[in-house]
Structure 1
Amino acid sequence: MILSSRETCIAYRCPYCGTGVKSMVGVFSLSGAVKKLKCDCGSSELKITQLRDGKLRISAPCIFCMTEHSFVISSKLFFDKELFVYPCPYSAIDMIFIGTPEAVSAALDKSEQEFIKMLRDSGIDDLDRLHGELDRDDDETPIDSSLYDAVMFTIRDLIDSGNVTCCCDDGDYDVAVSDDHVKVFCRNCGASCDIPTDSELAVRAFELCNHLKLEKL
């Protein structure tokens, strides 16, 4: 089935309330200002920006690692594809859905089931427990050091196995540690990626990662 080139459906899942947020997007609505798809809870939004070459940059917060992921897609793929999905780079679970309303709804439902299973496998029973650590006061219990150790082990394993890539042909990779994340970066081209260490689910998802692509901001 080929979708009309004038309109498509786009959806993401709000990382704060867990609701699947969907909207139809027409070709004329993308001209000019940034198109925003906001969750009714008011805590998150997906942004669509039309670039000078006609391509579209799509950005949305990730329910798995609580960071914003961004990618560029051609307008033809955006409007003509029956279903296009963009996965979280760490968990490989789909987080942004584009296509026909029927295909997007089905993919969103499937992603919800995968997300619920991941929560249960991690011993997390609600979103408050998933992201509650983001609201810690400085005098509360510090983040479990085992999460940091798991991230560092996975990073080193990816580097040693040649599964980290960047913008140059001969990457020279290193890490920089912060309170809530570990930055993996290339000394040569400056490309980087921040890996959260303050969310158990994000860490468990990153442990499943088999390739890490560093990008320039």
Structure 2
Amino acid sequence: MLITTATTLAIRCPECGALEFHNLSRFALSGRGKLQISCSCGAFLLGVVSKSPGSYWLQIPCVFCETKHIREISGTRLWGPQTLHLTCPESGLELGYLGRAEEVKALAESLDTGLEALMEELGYDDYFTNPAVMHQVMACLQEIADNGGLYCQCGNNHIEVDVYLDRLELHCKECDSINIVYAETEEDLQVIQQVDTIELTKHGFKFLDSLANTPKLTKKTRRKRNKHS
């Protein structure tokens, strides 16, 4: 008889948006009766608390409700062979999975962490001033972040993104710097399409509203021209 003593977690970080994988060991709960999983950016991802013999509470942070959902589950279900879907009870949004590593990793491929996909999932199109521009700006920002081009001067690479009807606000929690990226007009889209690096100024406040006043950006067009010079 095979007794499972570990399970794999795949979950979307509610702070930085990264898709994280963690192994949870049954023995990690021994003695202290609780376990907390954190993202590489430091944000809370999952809490497991032993309520009584054979019963657990899961604390699941929700990117939709901006709170923690509590779910009671049996030890047989938590450590069993069937994959557990972690969902938001209000929206039905899938937040993550717990189960066997192979199946969890396969399911996680559909758990897209992109800003654009997340907004589509939440049905926020009618909220934006210009949905088409906002989606393209978010796609550009996601590409910049995926390529390591979004960071702060203070050394922090985990930049939070707050989404508003006409803009994105990039926030560094380490030094409290802010960079605003407008996403309302075609001109706003052209600005972010011409850069591949956004560096937040330490303790600073900046706007990404024109190439002329954004010295902390690496401009794609300028680099291309230099190659031909």
Q: Distance in 1 between matches of 2:94 and 2:3?
A: 23
Q: Which amino acid aligns with 2:53?
A: D
What pairs with 1:166-205 in structure 2 (closer than 5 Å)?
A: none
Partner of 2:161: 128
Q: Distance in 1 between matches of 2:87 and 2:2?
A: 22
Q: Which of the pair has more CA radius of gyration? A: 2
Give the CA deviation at 1:75: 0.8
Would you say the 8 A contact 1:7–1:79 is kept in 2? yes
Q: Which amino acid aligns with 1:9?
A: T
Q: Structure 1 pair 66/26, CA: closer, same or farther in 2 (3 Å)?
A: same
The percentage of counterpart residues that share the same residue type is 25
Give the CA deviation at 1:44: 2.3
Q: Distance in 1 between matches of 2:115 and 2:81?
A: 24
Q: Structure 1 pair 66/56, CA: closer, same or farther in 2 (3 Å)?
A: same
TM-score using structure 2 length: 0.50
Structure that is richer in strand per residue: 2
Partner of 1:60: 60
Higher relative CO (Cα under 8 Å, sequence separation at least 6) belongs to: 1
Q: Distance in 2 between matches of 1:39 and 1:71?
A: 20
Q: Structure 1 pair 4/53, CA: closer, same or farther in 2 (3 Å)?
A: closer
Partner of 1:80: 80
Q: Distance in 2 between matches of 1:65 and 1:54?
A: 29
Residue 6 (structure 2) pairs with residue 25 (structure 1): no
Deviation per CA, 1:65-110: give whole Å up to 9, x if none: 2111110111111111331102111221211311011111222221
Give the CA deviation at 1:59: 0.5
Q: Distance in 1 between matches of 2:84 and 2:113?
A: 19
Partner of 2:101: 101
Q: Structure 1 pair 47/113, CA: closer, same or farther in 2 (3 Å)?
A: closer
Q: Distance in 1 between matches of 2:51 and 2:40?
A: 27
Would you say the 8 A contact 1:8–1:101 is kept in 2? yes
Q: Which amino acid aligns with 2:55?
A: K
- Say which is worse superposed, 8-17 or 124-133, in terms of deviation: 124-133
Q: Which amino acid aligns with 1:30?
A: L
Deviation per CA, 1:6-51: give whole Å up to 9, x if none: 1111232111111122211222111232211110101223111111
Partner of 2:179: none
SS state at 1:102 partner = helix
Would you say the 8 A contact 1:50–1:57 is kept in 2? yes
How many residue pairs align between the two structures? 133
Partner of 1:8: 7
Q: Which amino acid aligns with 1:27?
A: R
Q: Alpha carbon RMSD of aligned pairs, Å? A: 2.9
Give the CA deviation at 1:3: 8.0
Q: Distance in 1 between matches of 2:20 and 2:89?
A: 20
- Say which is worse superposed, 5-14 or 113-122, in terms of deviation: 113-122
